[in-house]
């Protein structure tokens, strides 16, 4: 059973380990720690007694941006990312947030399918936004009206 709760400072080291396992160009430890605190609604997914994934979300007034989401390779394909985004959306509605934004690599088709299944819509594209193994790739900007 997966339990979604707030990502706490004592989770950061384990969450950062997941970050480095899951992303081709992971955040630095400094960037990871800078995206914590009062302005953020950061969640963790606990499964089988261990940290399985996390979501990093900044809230500004009535909008929020999902900056980062990752699920440990040991726990992927179990719907944990969906559970994190669903729980995040519910908590944002409680805070009267109207819109949730995110950026995703244009090549990340599984993530794009997940976001579309959760009613996110593509609203724009940022050319050459993300570094890639072969240079740069576009970011799709997606939004969910809450």
Q: Give the active site residues.
A: 103, 115
Q: Does the annotation flag 111 for ligand binding?
A: no
Q: Does the annotation flag 68 for ligand binding?
A: no
Residues 6+ apart with CB under 8 A from 91: 41, 43
Query: Are β-strands 63-71 and 43-47 bridged in parallel, bridged antiparallel, or unpaired?
Result: unpaired
Q: Does the annotation flag 69 for ligand binding?
A: yes
Q: Give the separation between CA 101 and CA 139, rounded to whole angstroms.
A: 12
Q: Does the annotation flag 71 for ligand binding?
A: yes
Closest to 64 in 3D by CA, of 96, 34, 36:
96
Residues tagged in the binding site annotation for acetyl-CoA: 69-71, 108
Residues tagged in the binding site annotation: 69-71, 108
């Amino acid at each position: 059973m997966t339990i979604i709760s707030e990502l706490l400072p004592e989770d950061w080291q384990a969450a950062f380990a997941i970050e480095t396992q899951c992303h081709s160009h992971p955040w630095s430890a400094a960037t990871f720690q800078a995206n914590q605190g009062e302005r953020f609604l950061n969640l963790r997914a606990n499964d089988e007694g261990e940290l399985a994934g996390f979501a990093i979300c900044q809230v500004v007034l009535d909008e929020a941006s999902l900056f980062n989401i990752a699920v440990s390779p040991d726990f992927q394909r179990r719907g944990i990312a969906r559970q994190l985004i669903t729980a995040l959306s519910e908590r944002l509605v409680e805070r009267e947030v109207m819109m949730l934004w995110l950026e995703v690599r244009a090549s990340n088709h599984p993530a794009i399918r997940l976001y579309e299944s959760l009613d996110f819509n593509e609203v724009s594209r940022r050319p050459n936004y993300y570094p890639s193994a072969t240079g740069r790739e576009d970011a799709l900007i997606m939004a969910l009206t809450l």
